Structure 1
Amino acid sequence: MSTALIIIDVQKLLFDVEPQPFERTETITRINSLSAKARKAGVPVIVIQHERENHPLAYGTEGWELPDDLVVAESDLKVRKTAPDSFYKTSLKDLLDERGITDLTICGFASEFCVDTTFRRAASLGYNLRLVSDAHTTHDKDHATGKQIREHHNNTLIYLGGYEGSIAVLPESEVEFAQAETA
């Protein structure tokens, strides 16, 4: 069993705006704690960045960049994506397969779009999954607050069934990473 931490779409255009996403600073603090635990255990940290041509999220633009308070290491792997599904037309599955990764811990932005879509796709691919309940976020919408949207996904995705892999939803404080096996 091998695991990876997946950080989805924590980017300046999505986090360093007004209004900010729900618990913006707390969410990044929890993601930094997760990535520190993962790195200490030798677990790969994969940072996913969304991009869109001719848009403030275009590759290489300031909006596409990572917020200054997100801690990223040189050893972290990077994946660029253009759709809510982090596996769709990206190198993510190949990166995971090359490393024998079977377990994913998922956090990031946006709870109802890229986090949800990537989580469901990973479930359909048979990964064992952990959604970090307090380390994903979104902006308030007309129909629900960011807090309500986060809570909805925490309470929905835990019941996602019919797949081969296991599913857990737990807070950052309960996430531990076993020391990665070395070849």
Structure 2
Amino acid sequence: MSPTPAEALLIIDVQQALFDPPPADAAAVIGHINALAVRFRAAGRPVFLVQHESPQGALRAGTPGWAFAAGLQQAPSDLVIAKTTPDAYLRTPLEAALRERGIRHVAVCGYASEFCVDTTVRRSAALGFEVTLAADAHTTHDKPHASGAQIRAHENATLPDITSFGHPIRALAGASIAL
């Protein structure tokens, strides 16, 4: 029997500017993210806080909007990764940091379900990681075509159907993610 894959939690773009005004179920989603992060830390698994930054505007590094959202709990052991695209791996040290730690499985949560979360889930699988989307711990704002809750449900239903990467993508409630 092979050992359980080493796991890490990727918290994507839970930042003040992106949560003001709040996206769908913001308080509950942050609560689920915090609970998941507590479990990962307690199990000795790394927690990565991925933070989007732009050269100007509300997500410019160092601005109040760029800071992590109110209510997101952080720990000194958390690793912060800056990114500039929806892909948490593109031009960042994330992949190297995961490989150095022997990570083979990532759990992904955060903002925005259909953009940065979706892209990072797909890229994780493409890089050979097993992926669990924390189904109740990602969110987005309402769009003209669908509510934030509908978009989250769509991502939870469709991402696990992608099998061509050769590594599973699962969507599970945060409390159901086994460590």
Corresponding residue of 2:154:
152
Corresponding residue of 2:25:
23
The CA deviation string for residues 94-119 of structure 1, in whole angstroms up to 9 with x for no partner, is 10011011100000000000000011
Distance in 2 between residues matched to 1:56 and 1:68, nearest whole Å: 15
Residue 68 of structure 1: CA displacement? 2.7
Residue 173 of structure 1: CA displacement? 2.0
Percentage of matched positions with identical amino acids: 46
Residue 162 of structure 1: CA displacement? 1.4
The CA deviation string for residues 119-161 of structure 1, in whole angstroms up to 9 with x for no partner, is 1111111101100111000000111100010001111001011
TM-score (norm 1): 0.94
Corresponding residue of 2:13:
9
Corresponding residue SS for 1:158: helix
For these two proteins, the number of residue pairs brought into alignment is 175
Runs of 4+ residues deviating >3 angstroms: none
Distance in 2 between residues matched to 1:155 and 1:130, nearest whole Å: 12
Residue 91 of structure 1: CA displacement? 0.6
Corresponding residue of 1:139:
141
Distance in 1 between residues matched to 2:56 and 2:108, nearest whole Å: 28
Match of 1:166 among 165, 168, 177: 168
TM-score (norm 2): 0.96
Distance in 1 between residues matched to 2:175 and 2:95, nearest whole Å: 27
Residue 168 of structure 1: CA displacement? 1.0
Corresponding residue of 1:115:
117
Give me the CA root mean square deviation: 0.8
Unaligned residue ranges in structure 2 (runs of 5+): none
Corresponding residue of 1:63:
65
Residue 176 of structure 1: CA displacement? 2.6
Residue 85 of structure 1: CA displacement? 0.3
Contact 1:37 1:176 survives alignment (8 Å): no
Distance in 1 between residues matched to 2:169 and 2:15, nearest whole Å: 26
Unaligned residue ranges in structure 1 (runs of 5+): 178-183
